[in-house]
Chains A and B, each alone.
Chain A
Amino acid sequence: MDPKDALREEHGATMKMLAVLRRLMTKAVDLKEGETKDLEALIEFFDVYVDRYHHGKEEQVLFPALSLTLAVRIDSIIDSLIKDHREARTIMGQIRSKAVTLHSCSEAERYELKERADLYVDLVRKHIRKENSELLPLIEERLSEPERLQMAGQFQNVEKATLGSSGVEIFLVSVQRLSKKYTLQ
């Protein structure tokens, strides 16, 4: 698949899971057992699919390739996107550590979890819109067809290294299940 289309699809799946996280967190104070498991599945999705796999493709393959085109504007875009990735990683770490001890969390700590999750959702939504507007068009603008073809192969290597033989399928099933449960009418 063309690198731009692959990243665009991953952004779509991520937007769906952000909507699920926001909806689930409206009940943060009183999560039932099944909902706690769904929160764990969401954290797994954001940790592995979004951060290791999707951000891995961008940070290890796409950003270095675009950087080689030596445009000043590109470097400043990439710097701001990497800053977003780091911030999102930090916030997700805080969400993960709260979720692990959820059963013994006070009401105040559960509100704190919700506040962290809302921050994460707002940050990543804004980040994805920025990437779709400023970054993805650069793939066609700056990289030749052979370069894009080579990038598609490198993306597959990142997939193998980060997701192993199970691939993306397990996460896409999770997106479908949780969207249906929490966000679709």
Chain B
Amino acid sequence: MKVKIDYDLCMGDRNCHKVCPEVFDFDEDQLRSIVRVDSVPAHLENKVRKAAEECAPGAILVEE
């Protein structure tokens, strides 16, 4: 699984970081989230799907 963030849509509420800190980090200068991994480890895939579902502006793009 691959995951990307649409930086125009990211509103910086850090929810993804709370749900899956292993994959999502927060850029304190730009006030938006960033992805820390090239591909998502299998054991974290469900957490990443949950983060994407909960992302209010739909900024998390998951490629299965």
- Chain A residues with a Cβ under 8 A of chain B: 8-9, 11-13, 15-16, 18-19, 22, 125-126, 128-130, 132-133, 136, 179
Contact partners of B64 in chain A: CB under 8 A: none
Dominant secondary structure at the B interface: loop
- Give me 27 A-to-B residue pairs in the complex whose CB atoms sit less than 8 angstroms apart, sorted by A's number: A8-B13, A9-B56, A11-B11, A11-B13, A12-B11, A12-B56, A15-B9, A15-B11, A15-B56, A15-B59, A18-B8, A19-B8, A19-B9, A125-B8, A125-B11, A126-B31, A128-B12, A129-B12, A129-B30, A129-B31, A129-B32, A132-B12, A132-B13, A132-B14, A132-B31, A133-B14, A133-B31
Determine how close the nearest CB of chain A comes to the CB of B19; give it in whole angstroms: 14
Q: Is the CB of B12 within 8 A of A16?
A: no
Question: Could you list 5 further interchain pairs (A-B, Cβ under 8 angstroms) beyond the known A8-B56, A15-B11, A132-B13?
Answer: A11-B11, A13-B56, A18-B8, A129-B11, A132-B12
Determine how close the nearest CB of chain A comes to the CB of B32; give it in whole angstroms: 6
Give the residue among B9, B14, B59 with the most A Cβ atoms within 10 A.
B9
Which partner residue on chain A sits nearest B30 by CB separation?
A129
Bound-state Cα–Cα, A27 to B8, Å: 18
Contact partners of B11 in chain A: CB under 8 A: 11-12, 15, 125, 128-129, 132
Question: Which of B8, B13, B32, B57 meets A22, CB within 8 Å?
Answer: B8
Contact partners of B8 in chain A: CB under 8 A: 18-19, 22, 125
Which partner residue on chain A sits nearest B31 by CB separation?
A129
Shortest Cβ-Cβ A-B pairs, 8 listed: A12-B56, A15-B57, A129-B31, A129-B12, A132-B13, A12-B57, A15-B11, A132-B12
Determine how close the nearest CB of chain A comes to the CB of B60; give it in whole angstroms: 12
**Is B58 interfacial (CB-CB < 8 Å)?**
yes
Contact A136 B13, CB 8 Å, known A19-B8, A22-B8, A129-B31: yes
Q: Is the CB of B12 within 8 A of A133?
A: yes
Contact partners of A128 in chain B: CB under 8 A: 11-12
Q: Is the CB of B13 within 8 A of A16?
A: no
Bound-state Cα–Cα, A22 to B6, Å: 14
Contact A11 B56, CB 8 Å, known A19-B9, A125-B8: yes
